[in-house]
Amino acid sequence: MQRKITLAVVIMGFSGFIAEIVLLRELLVAFHGNELSIGVILANWLLLESAGAHFLGRRISRAKRKLGWFILVTVLFTISFLAAIYATRTFREFLPLMPGEGVGILTMFAVSFVTLLPVSLLHGALFTSGCQLHFQYAGPGAEDLGVFSIARVYVYETLGTIAGGLILTFVFIPLLHAIHIALAVALLNFLICLFLLQPLRKGIGKPARLVSFLALLFLLSGTSYLVASSGSERLHITSLERQWKHHHLVHHEQSQYGNITVTERGGEYTFYADGTPILSSPNPDLVFIEEFVHFPMLFHPDPKNVAVLSGGAGGVINEILKHDVERVDYAEVDPLLPEVIRKFPTLLTESELNDPRVHVTDADSRFFLIRTPHRYDVILSGFSDPSTLQTNRFFTREFFSLARDRLSSQGILMFGLPGSLTYLGRELTDLNAIVLNTLESVFPHVMVIPGEDQNFYLASSSPAMKEPGVEELAEAIRARELELMLMGPGYISYKLDPRWSDFFYSQMEEGSDAINEDFKPLGVFYSLVFWNEQFSPGFNDIFRHSKAVSLPLLGGILLVVFLLLFLFTSRHREPMKPALAMAIFSTGFAGMLFDLILIFAFQVLYGYIFYWLGLLVTAFMAGVMAGGLWMSSHLKKVSSALPAIIRLEVLVILFALLLPPVFLRAGDLLVYDWFDILLKSIFLLLSFVSGILVGSAFPLANREFLRTSRSLSGTAGFLYSADLMGGWLGGIIGGVVLLPVMGLTNTSLAIVIFKILSLALLLAALRRSRARK
């Protein structure tokens, strides 16, 4: 029977990991690809798992029919996973939100919490219940296995998560949509429940056992029918149609970079990336497009080579081709988008993409700019604001330096940000100011053309960009024989009126003086503040003040917490207990931040964390299993785990110090193919090592804790909850505040400070314990 329980625990880990990643991907799309929501989502998952393990799991462990409850909770978890996918796609029906409308941080937290509530709660309960069952069915010598049962279940569950990560990444995601994946998991879970049901004949009467058997058989048959028939596809389409209510959905596809959706209305196609509209065809916004294209093209004396980074099809390229250009290189943030555009052709997009001067690349826009051998007279960056890490990569000092190096001697970079000609507000002022500061730190000549909806930024290394006036631009239009709908002399004169730029620069004097960088993405933070003001104004006052967070402030807070805990442990009857709990809590905190730092760094450097998310977490969980196995074996050879715990705390500190230097200069070397392969290997290796550090802590602390605890399930639930609660705190403040405001380096140093204080508390508790003996 123990082998069956072991298999059930492995499948529990397999199912839980797949549910976590699939729901994370679905919520990420629902939140417009905002990677900072990853921390919020993972934090809520951990919080609810913690509650499930500590409260619901402990109740199940005390029940008489433990195996029956384990089966019931497995069934409920499986059903709730499928329901959560549907809820993620349809939650906008119950909120005043339209498709394409953004959501604030508070809404992200609430939606992800409610959606994940049943799934995470039930899965957390399965862990504690699995620990008790594994101990119960251990057989002869069980009294010697009590100390190791929790550690072994931890390892078995992690083995399942590794298998789940690999199968999800390389099989399920490329071949199946989310509903299909949930049904595949359901088949596996219902089968293992039937497998476990056999021993219940000894503990449950025949009618109850027969009802349980028939119920499972019904669920298995119904799931098999949905998979074999078109039922799963109908469920998938129905949920998407409800997600895109009031829109005619014609295409929905996942790619390495995110989600692409196409809607159609009266022959007008709108293309969305992660729920955000990217372009429309055949009737684009001509006001925006003419300004965006022709201002930089006219300021340049003779533009021949042009690069378009995002938003090129659907009007922009058409306007560029009105000039006597020789080459137009077009790259999207998602290389799949041009392919999808070709599936829904219009006369406009066909004429653009089939022109022999236009070269469409299949690389991410920034990666394309790193690798291209060409120099450009004009680079048009079509990203509208740095609201995600993926788009923030096009508003940083590193990107502006890269663009400067790819421009010709009189080349011009052009991009836009949200703006207003009447009132910018504090949020919009800070957002524009930080990008302006960053641009001026790279380019000696910067020009801003304020607008009612968009402020256009032009930057060049040549002073010639600012020389043409209204008459010179009007003459260039005539000389190039441009047929424009809007941009005549009168309109140009209005747009370049000094009063607009005077107003803009007067507002910038009140804005932030910070610089936006790849690994300190303040642009994402200020963009979130701006959008929170639109969608969560009540919460925004609190969120806005988080920009004051700094390493000295955080260090001071942690020091106060340490002193309070020191006083508490000094009066505690068993001082090692709270010290061990803090060690596990701080390791959970560090582990979550290690995860987020690696996710954050990968997205900054590559832009497709949507695909690599499963791989990075799988590598982390492989490390957790390796660490758990290593320490479980080590515990059999030693009488005390405390020396190993202390060494582990030191290793976590050293690892946190190692992370920043690995990535800070990595972007400069991505031009080499060999370094691209090496860097991805380093990401996986670092994820694995961080997993070893986290996975080793749990069995060690468990061994010491069980010395003074009489309850196996109580120890499992308490330490597991401490681990998960530390991860929750790391996800909430790490993903939303620490990484965007303090940056990668200072966030790593915050981990160092926390672990040093945790180690000091542990050593002080050890000294007091020995003194009392």
Residues 6 or more apart from 129 whose CB is under 8 A from it? 57, 60, 61, 66, 69, 70, 73
Nearest to 686 by CA among 760, 612, 630, 763: 612
pLDDT of residue 158: 82
pLDDT, tens digit (0-9, with 9 covering 90-100), for 176-231: 899 999 999 999 999 999 888 765 545 455 676 778 888 888 999 999 999 888 88
Enumerate long-range contacts of 423-426, CB under 8 Å, 24 or more apart.
Answer: 424/507, 425/533, 426/510, 426/544
pLDDT, tens digit (0-9, with 9 covering 90-100), for 713-740: 445 557 767 887 888 899 988 888 899 9
Q: How confident is the model at residue 101 (pLDDT cuts 50, 70, 90)?
A: low
553, 718 Cβ separation under 8 angstroms: no
Query: What is the distance between the alpha carbons of residues 539 and 544, in angstroms, rounded to a whole number?
Result: 9
pLDDT of residue 21: 93
- pTM over the 0.75 mark: yes
Nearest to 428 by CA among 450, 406, 408: 450
Query: What is the distance between the alpha carbons of residues 169 and 351, in angstroms, rounded to a whole number?
Result: 37
Query: What is the distance between the alpha carbons of residues 433 and 505, in angstroms, rounded to a whole number?
Result: 9
Q: In sequence order, what are the beta bridge partners of 380?
A: 308, 414
Q: What is the dihedral of CA 711, 716, 718, 722, to 10 degrees?
A: 160
Q: 């417009």: which residue's tokens?
A: 32
**Burial letters for 200-232: b for 16+ Cβ neighbours within 10 Å, e otherwise?**
beeebeeeebeebeeebeebbeebeebeeeeeb
- Written as one string, the DSSP assignment of 133-181 is HHHHT--TTHHHHHHHHHHHHHHHHHHHHHHHHHHIIIIIHHH--HHHH
Query: What is the distance between the alpha carbons of residues 440 and 463, in angstroms, rounded to a whole number?
Result: 13
pLDDT, tens digit (0-9, with 9 covering 90-100), for 643-681: 888 999 999 999 999 999 988 878 777 777 888 889 999
pLDDT, tens digit (0-9, with 9 covering 90-100), for 505-531: 999 999 989 999 999 999 998 888 887
697, 703 Cβ separation under 8 angstroms: no
State which H helix or E strand residue 224 sits in: helix 206-228
Q: In the 8-state DSSP scheme, what is residue 459?
A: E
Peptide bond into 282 cis (omega under 30): yes
C-alpha 249: how far from chain center: 26
Residue 79 has pLDDT above 90, yes or no: yes
Query: What is the distance between the alpha carbons of residues 336 and 608, in angstroms, rounded to a whole number?
Result: 12
pLDDT of residue 305: 97
Q: For the residues 41-56, what does the mean pLDDT come to?
A: 86
Q: For the residues 40-46, what does the mean pLDDT come to?
A: 89
Burial class, 139, CB count within 10 angstroms (exposed 0-12 / middle 13-18 / buried 19+)? exposed
Amino acid at 394: F
Query: What is the distance between the alpha carbons of residues 516 and 513, in angstroms, rounded to a whole number?
Result: 10
